[in-house]
Amino acid sequence: MTQAVFETDRLRVRKAGVSDEDVDFFYQLWKNPQVMSFVGYPKGLEITREDVKQNIEKHAGSEFDGRLIIELKGSLKKIGECKMGMPDNEGIALTDIKLLPEYWQQGYGTEVKRGLVEYLFTHTNCSKIRATPSKNNTASQKMQEGAGAIRTGEGIYHFPDDMKEFTVDVPYYIYIIEREEWEKRKNEWEKVSAHGKSDD
């Protein structure tokens, strides 16, 4: 069993491999119009399983900027993917999460997002964590806010002209989590927990 990058209360996040099971899972996820319409592919990605395998191989190695699979603890059922980038020259790291539709609205996205945030602030020197959910994806926006992110702006992603035939431009919001704010909330939570234990 592949070692976990991190775990949450209900979930396990690990690096993707090129096994048939992992390749088939990403193929299913990326071909799903419900999932991919929010990132500009209303019919899903036009890919083959070999394309998927090459993509996983290309991003193999570090957990940063690589393909990560989200699994349910216990059953190890694959429910989605996530990504966390190394901080850029401005100290900003990016996150991204995609879940299969049958696992939406169950709090898994927020749980993973919080795990990604803690991992990035603990294992890198990033000063901010950024995400850009589609304006049409209200669930993703709530997920960002549930993890402590603040909406700071908006934009539109335009695909290159040679991709216009099978994509749509994506209007998005910018959400940011500042390290200082995260540390403050984390310390406040730990103080409450400690106080609660002392009262028992």
In a domain, 129, yes or no: yes
In a domain, 116, yes or no: yes
What pTM value is reported for the model? 0.90
In a domain, 197, yes or no: no
Residue 198 confidence (pLDDT): 39
In a domain, 198, yes or no: no
Domains held by the chain: number? 1
| Structural domain harbouring 52 | 4-192
Residue 122 confidence (pLDDT): 95
In a domain, 199, yes or no: no
Q: In angstroms, rounded to a whole number, what is the distance separating the alpha carbons of residues 19 and 25? A: 10
Report the CATH number that the domain containing residue 72 is assigned in CATH.
Answer: 3.40.630.30
Per-10-residue mean pLDDT of the chain, 200 residues long, equals: 91 96 97 97 96 92 93 96 96 97 96 96 97 96 94 97 96 97 78 51
Residue 138 confidence (pLDDT): 96
Residue 185 confidence (pLDDT): 81
In a domain, 29, yes or no: yes
Q: In angstroms, rounded to a whole number, what is the distance separating the alpha carbons of residues 81 and 130? A: 17
In a domain, 200, yes or no: no
In a domain, 137, yes or no: yes
Q: In a 10 Å sphere around its CB, with 0-12 CB exposed, 13-18 middle and 19+ buried, how is residue 14 labelled?
A: buried
